[in-house]
Amino acid sequence: AQSVTQLDSHVSVSEGTPVLLRCNYSSSYSPSLFWYVQHPNKGLQLLLKYTSAATLVKGINGFEAEFKKSETSFHLTKPSAHMSDAAEYFCVVSPNNNDMRFGAGTRLTVKP
């Protein structure tokens, strides 16, 4: 079965410090992996996606993620947090092109 585990339900950082949101996946095949962000009362927005090309994926708003097959991980990072980054983040695995399995989400809080 395909699934993702977001290791932290809540992460709190200070503005200007690095962000690390952790995600592990399980998949029988080489999956596609995504990170989405959800701001309050807004739709889900795609941050970045991995689809078997370069293992280091750069996304919008300075975020990036590295696909590590040996560790079955796809952690999301950003060098310097901004107040506007405060939101819910979802790691998603897709074993094929028609099915997506969302993680439970990580709420990011950014302190001034």
Partner 1 sequence: EAGVAQSPRYKIIEKRQSVAFWCNPISGHATLYWYQQILGQGPKLLIQFQNNGVVDDSQLPKDRFSAERLKGVDSTLKIQPAKLEDSAVYLCASSPPGAGVNEQFFGPGTRLTVL
Residue ranges binding partner 1 (CB under 8 A): 32, 36, 41-46, 49, 51, 90, 92, 94, 96-100, 102-105
**Hey, how many other C-beta atoms are within 10 angstroms of the C-beta on 83?**
10
Nearer to partner 1, 32 or 73 (CB): 32
111: helix, strand or coil: strand
Rounded Cα gap, residues 65 and 47, in angstroms = 10
Nearer to partner 1, 22 or 49 (CB): 49
83: helix, strand or coil: helix
Nearer to partner 1, 80 or 96 (CB): 96
Minimum CB separation from partner 1 for residue 46, in Å? 7
